[in-house]
Amino acid sequence: MEELKYHYKYPHPAVTTDCVIFGFDGVRINVLLIQRGVEPYKDAWAFPGGFLKMDETAEEGARRELEEETGLKNVDVEQFYTFSTVDRDPRERVITIAHYALVRMADVRGGDDAANARWFPYNEIPRLAFDHDRILRKAVSVLKERICFKPIGFELLPEVFTMSELQNLYEAILEVKFDRRNFYNKIRKSGLLIEAGKRPANTPLRVPVKYCFNPEKYAELKHKGFKLEF
Amino acid sequence: MEELKYHYKYPHPAVTTDCVIFGFDGVRINVLLIQRGVEPYKDAWAFPGGFLKMDETAEEGARRELEEETGLKNVDVEQFYTFSTVDRDPRERVITIAHYALVRMADVRGGDDAANARWFPYNEIPRLAFDHDRILRKAVSVLKERICFKPIGFELLPEVFTMSELQNLYEAILEVKFDRRNFYNKIRKSGLLIEAGKRPANTPLRVPVKYCFNPEKYAELKHKGFKLEF
DNA sequence: ACAAAAGTGTTAGGCCTACACCCATGA
DNA sequence: TCATGGGTGTAGGCCTAACACTTTTGT
C-alpha cells in the first residue's frame, strides 16, 4: 500500500518539467523523444521530463531529467510555456513547465541511458503521450518566432558548415524557401560568418566554402536582435 | 491547530498565479498593485494573484484572482513566465505562473473590491513583496519584445485617441523617442487607424485629429506581425 | 550530355531617416 | 509675441526582391 507522507492544508498540484529537444540533420528538423516504460501511456513516445524536486528550479529539473533519460549534459534549456489543463494527466493534477533546447544531433548518440531515446524527423512524429502534441506545436511556434529576431544555428550545426546547410536550417524551421543569392548576400552583410580556413588553391569549385560563426558578432546579434525576412 | 487534509506520496510545491497589469494614462505606463493584508510581506505591495485551485487552469486562476482582488473582469491575461526559484516564498515551496495584461486604466476605478488596489507609474514602483520586482522586470522585457512585432494599444487606449497619444504609448513602453513625422507616416501607411468621425468644418486646427483602430487590420497585423523600428 | 550544386552582381522599387515650414492657440 | 502642439512632404540612402549565367562534376 502507498505511503502518503506529505501533508498539506490545501491541495497541491504535481509539477513536472518537459524538454522539447530540436536537432538538425542537414536537411530536416528532428525532435528527440523517449519511449515510456510505465503506465500511463506505456510504450507511447513522449518528451524527456519528469517530476520536479523540491530543491531544484524548473530549469535545473529539466536539465536533470534530460540527462537521466537521454544522457545529454550541459544543455541550455529555455522555458517557453507552462501547461495547466486540468485533466492533462490521468493520475492526478499535473502542471508541466515546458522547455526547449537546440542541440547537435551527434551529441546524443553514445548517450548510454539513451537506450530508448530516438530522433524523429519533425513530419514523422508518432502519436505522443499526454498532451505532448500540443506542447510540440507550441514549441515549434515559439522557435519560429525566435528565429526571426535572433541568430540561430550555433547550437544546431557542426563547427563548420556550408552556406547551403545554414539556409536549409532556416528553411526547415520556417517552412519557407529563400532565394539562394539573397540569402548569401544577407548573411554576408550581417558579418555573422567567417570562412573556416582557406580553400586550398586547387579545390574543385564544386566543393562548397565552409564557414563557422563569428562568436562576437553572434553574441551581439543575439542581444541586439536581427531581422530575417519571412 | 492546522488541519493537514491533503496527502501525497511525494512532496508537491504550491502553485500560484500572478498578474502584471499594465495601464496607460496618456503619458506614462502604470502598473496595478495591491497592498498585502497578511503576512508574509504584510503591507508590502504586490501583484494580484494567489493559489491555483485544482479545477482551474492557470489562466482561469489568474483571471479569478484578478477579479477578486481588483474588480477587473474579462481581462485577456497572457502567461509569460513561470518562476520557480526554490526559496521565493518563505512559507513553503511556491511556484508562480506569471501573466500580464493590458487594460484601460479607467476600467479599474469603480472596482469595489479594489479598495487596496492602486496604479503606480512605472518609475515610481515601491518595494515589492517576494520576488515581484524580478517578475516585473521580466514582464516589461516581454512586453517590449512583443510590441515590436504586434500592434498594441487597442487594449490600453480609449476608444478614440490622437496620434500623439499613440506615439506617447509606444515611446513610454520602449523608452525611446520617435520622430513625429516619421511615426505619422509609418502608422498611416500600415492602415491600422481610421479617422474617428469627421472633424467639423470649422474645428480649430489646434485640436488634433482623433483616430480609432481599424479592427480588421489590427487583427491581421496581430496575426501576421508588424515591424516597428527600435 | 545533362542534371545538380555552387559561385557571383545588378537593378528597380520601396522603406527608413532626417529634416523645415506653416498655422493656431493660450499664456 | 512667444512657446507649444499640430499638420504636412521630400530627398538620399539603404535594404529588399527579383533575376541569369557560368563552372564543375557525377551519372
Q: Does the pLDDT at position A149 exceed 90?
A: no
Measured CA B168 to C1' C24 distance, in angstroms: 22
Where is the domain boundary, B104, B119, B147?
B147
B115 and B195 both lie in a single domain: no
Element (H, E) at A217: helix A215-224
A178 and A71 both lie in a single domain: no
B185 Cβ contacts chain D strand, under 7 Å: yes
B139 and B167 both lie in a single domain: no
Which CATH number covers residue B204? 1.10.10.10
Residues A50-70 have pLDDT tens digits of 999 999 999 999 999 999 999
Which CATH number covers residue B123? 3.90.79.10
Q: Which residue from A minimizes the CA distance to B80? A: A81
Q: Which residue from A minimizes the CA distance to B148? A: A149
A204 Cβ contacts chain D strand, under 7 Å: yes
As a whole number of angstroms, the distance between CA B148 and CA A20 comes to 27
Q: Could you tell me if residue A123 is inside a domain?
A: yes
Q: Does the pLDDT at position B137 exceed 70?
A: yes
**Is B176 near chain A, with CB under 8 Å?**
no
A124 and A188 both lie in a single domain: no
Number of Cβ within 10 Å of residue B224's Cβ equals 10
As a whole number of angstroms, the distance between CA A63 and CA A65 comes to 6
Residue entry with cell 505562473: B97
Q: What pLDDT does A222 receive?
A: 84
3-state DSSP call for residue A87? Answer: coil
Percent of chain A surpassing pLDDT 70 = 91
B203 Cβ contacts chain D strand, under 7 Å: no
3-state DSSP call for residue A153? Answer: coil
* pLDDT average, residue stretch B203-207: 65
Where is the domain boundary, B91, B120, B147?
B147
Q: Could you tell me if residue A1 is inside a domain?
A: no
3-state helix, strand, coil in chain B (%, to 5): 35, 25, 45
A118 and A181 both lie in a single domain: no
Looking across all nucleic acid strands, the nucleotide with the smallest C1' to CA distance from residue A189 is D15
Q: Could you tell me if residue B43 is inside a domain?
A: yes
In the structure, what pLDDT confidence band is assigned to residue A221 with cuts at 50, 70 and 90?
confident
A141 and A207 both lie in a single domain: no
B175 and B131 both lie in a single domain: no
Q: Does the pLDDT at position A111 exceed 60?
A: no
Q: Which nucleotides of C are covered by protein (CB under 7 A)?
A: 4-10, 15-20, 23-26
* Cα–Cα nearest to A22, from A127, A123, A80, A104: A104
As a whole number of angstroms, the distance between CA B156 and CA B162 comes to 13
Of B4, B84, B230, the CB nearest to A57: B84
Q: What pLDDT does B131 receive?
A: 97
A27 and A84 both lie in a single domain: yes
Q: Phi and psi at residue A8, in whole multiples of 5°?
A: -140, 155
When divided into structural domains, chain A yields a total of: 2
B9 neighbourhood in chain A, CB within 8 Å: 2-6
Q: Could you tell me if residue B83 is inside a domain?
A: yes
Residues B187-201 have pLDDT tens digits of 988 889 998 876 655
Number of Cβ within 10 Å of residue B140's Cβ equals 18
B226 neighbourhood in chain A, CB within 8 Å: none
Q: Sort residue B82 into left (φ over 0), alpha (ψ -120 to 50) or beta.
A: beta
Which of the residues B12, B146, B226, B228 would you substitute to probe the A interface, choosing the one with the greatest number of A C-beta atoms within 10 Å? B12
Looking across all nucleic acid strands, the nucleotide with the smallest C1' to CA distance from residue A210 is C6
Residues B57-87 have pLDDT tens digits of 999 999 999 999 999 999 999 999 999 999 9
Q: Which domain holds residue B69?
A: 14-147
A130 and A38 both lie in a single domain: yes
In the structure, what pLDDT confidence band is assigned to residue B113 with cuts at 50, 70 and 90?
low
A35 Cβ contacts chain C strand, under 7 Å: no
B180 Cβ contacts chain D strand, under 7 Å: yes
Measured CA A134 to C1' D19 distance, in angstroms: 41
A137 and A51 both lie in a single domain: yes
- Taking C1' of D5 and every protein CA, the nearest residue is B206
Measured CA A158 to C1' D26 distance, in angstroms: 26
What does DSSP assign to residue B202?
Answer: T
Contacts 24+ apart (CB under 8 A), B53-59: B54/A11, B54/A13, B54/A86, B54/A93, B55/A86, B56/A86, B57/A84, B57/A85, B57/A86, B58/A82, B58/A84, B58/A95, B58/B17, B58/B97, B58/B99, B59/A84, B59/B99
Q: Does the pLDDT at position B134 exceed 60?
A: yes
Q: What pLDDT does B1 receive?
A: 56
Cis ω before A208 (30° cut-off from 0): no
Interface of B with A in 69-108 (CB under 8 A): 79, 81-82, 84-86, 93, 95, 97
B176 Cβ contacts chain C strand, under 7 Å: no
Q: Name the pTM for this structure.
A: 0.93
* pLDDT average, residue stretch A72-94: 96
Where is the domain boundary, A147, A179, A201?
A147
Q: Could you tell me if residue B155 is inside a domain?
A: no
What does DSSP assign to residue A113?
Answer: G
As a whole number of angstroms, the distance between CA B119 and CA A76 comes to 37
B154 Cβ contacts chain D strand, under 7 Å: no
Q: Where are the alpha helices (DSSP H) in B51-208?
A: 58-70, 132-149, 163-174, 180-190
B15/A14 CB distance under 8 A: no
